[in-house]
């Protein structure tokens, strides 16, 4: 095992590029690419990888919500994923969407899941093979999960509001200018329909990127602890909510806190700033 992983709270939640390259054909594994760039998978992907599109496959198409148990089971079936399959997620943007897809899989209790450390960027940077050949997995059975377990992993608006009023710990993982209220869009992105700039009162700023190295891999446990325990003062039994704009960058931080550092109760507020910032009669703070 990669010695860096051994330091994490759950070392087996990550694989590195070297391991994946040697295990592309290992039975019982399904590699899943999830990207922000909608056509990136079509341009080339890790051999054998299937594509899960965050918007088309994971979001409900008419309600701002995630797919239900039936649709999740169907998604798994058509991608050759059974409850015993180990799903290895990777993607662009330092694994934002890979962590997001991983998080959605946890809503349905699919715990045989891992993330490729460094994601697509590292795989490409190392000159490892990509293909345009699309796998055609044999349809398999995936029993419909009894329910979607939102309570353990997800925070709704009302819960976040109560959390704020109770002085609960919140981590705003957006860029500093989004947090302060100076910008209503993410750096390098167009406006996404946010009416107000600022942050949830009481939330601490800690941009997601602080958890990643230049090569897009996660920082070491010691480096992460220095940030989240040292600077933010988070304790392992704190009830923590992470948020961003729509829940993808905060999935990255959720993954770091829960799996790499072992925080016991971390939830992702996927409504995030596009909900909170626009909600009528909802308080915000600015720091400009």
- Of the candidates 12, 18, 37, 162, which one interacts with other proteins according to CB under 8 A? 37
d(CA 180, CA 278): 16
Say whether residue 246 binds other proteins (CB under 8 A): yes
DSSP per residue over 71-106, as a string?
HHHHHHHHTT--TTPEEEEE-SGGGHHHHHHHHHHH
Nearer to other proteins (CB atom), residue 100 or residue 228: 100
Say whether residue 64 binds other proteins (CB under 8 A): no
- Strand order, beta sheet including 14-15: 14-15, 113-116, 86-90, 29-33, 50-51
Say whether residue 192 binds other proteins (CB under 8 A): yes
The least distance separating other proteins from the CB of residue 38, rounded to whole angstroms, comes to: 5
- Of the candidates 28, 56, 231, 283, which one interacts with other proteins according to CB under 8 A? 56
Residue 49 is given by DSSP the state -
Classified as helix, coil or strand, 50 is: strand
Nearer to other proteins (CB atom), residue 145 or residue 271: 271
- Of the candidates 22, 43, 133, 166, which one interacts with other proteins according to CB under 8 A? 43
Under a CB-based contact definition with an 8 Å cutoff, are residues 205 and 176 in contact? yes
- 206: annotated active-site residue: no
- Of the candidates 191, 237, 280, 281, which one interacts with other proteins according to CB under 8 A? 191
Classified as helix, coil or strand, 71 is: helix
Among 76, 99, 206, 244, the one annotated catalytic: 244
The least distance separating other proteins from the CB of residue 42, rounded to whole angstroms, comes to: 5
Residue 13 C-alpha from the chain's centroid? 13
Under a CB-based contact definition with an 8 Å cutoff, are residues 226 and 220 in contact? no
- Of the candidates 39, 133, 222, 280, which one interacts with other proteins according to CB under 8 A? 39
Say whether residue 185 binds other proteins (CB under 8 A): yes
Under a CB-based contact definition with an 8 Å cutoff, are residues 89 and 34 in contact? yes
User: What contacts 258, CB < 8 A, 6 or more positions away?
Assistant: 266
> Which residue(s) pair with 265 in the sheet?
239
Say whether residue 265 binds other proteins (CB under 8 A): no
Q: Which range in 30-38, 197-205, 221-229, 234-242 contacts other proteins by CB under 8 A?
A: 30-38
Question: Which residues does the annotation mark as catalytic?
Answer: 244
Q: Name the site residues for other proteins (rule: CB under 8 A).
A: 36-40, 42-43, 55-56, 185, 187-192, 246
């Amino acid at each position: 095992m990669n010695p860096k992983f051994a330091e994490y709270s759950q070392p087996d939640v990550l694989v590195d590029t070297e391991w994946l390259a040697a295990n592309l054909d290992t039975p019982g594994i399904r590699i899943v690419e999830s990207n922000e760039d909608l056509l990136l998978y079509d341009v080339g992907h890790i051999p054998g990888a299937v594509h899960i599109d965050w918007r088309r496959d994971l979001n409900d198409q008419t309600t701002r919500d995630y797919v239900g148990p039936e649709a999740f089971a169907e998604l798994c079936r058509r991608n050759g994923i059974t409850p015993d399959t180990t799903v290895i997620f990777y993607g662009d943007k330092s694994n934002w969407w890979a962590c997001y897809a991983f998080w959605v899989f946890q809503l349905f209790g699919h715990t045989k899941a891992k993330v490729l450390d460094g994601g697509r960027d590292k795989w490409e940077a190392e000159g490892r093979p990509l293909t345009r050949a699309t796998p055609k997995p044999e349809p398999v059975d995936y029993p419909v999960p009894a329910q979607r377990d939102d309570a353990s992993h997800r925070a709704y608006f009302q819960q976040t509001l109560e959390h704020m009023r109770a002085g609960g710990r919140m981590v705003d993982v957006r860029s500093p200018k989004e947090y302060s209220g100076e910008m209503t869009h993410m750096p390098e992105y167009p406006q996404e329909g946010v009416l107000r700039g600022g942050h949830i009162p009481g939330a601490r700023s800690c941009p997601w990127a602080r958890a990643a190295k230049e090569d897009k891999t996660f920082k070491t446990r010691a480096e992460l602890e220095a940030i989240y325990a040292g600077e933010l003062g988070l304790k392992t039994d704190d009830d923590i909510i992470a948020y961003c704009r729509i829940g993808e960058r905060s999935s990255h931080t959720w993954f770091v806190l829960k799996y790499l550092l072992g925080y016991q109760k971390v939830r992702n507020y996927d409504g995030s700033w596009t909900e909170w910032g626009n909600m009528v009669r909802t308080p915000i703070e600015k720091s400009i």
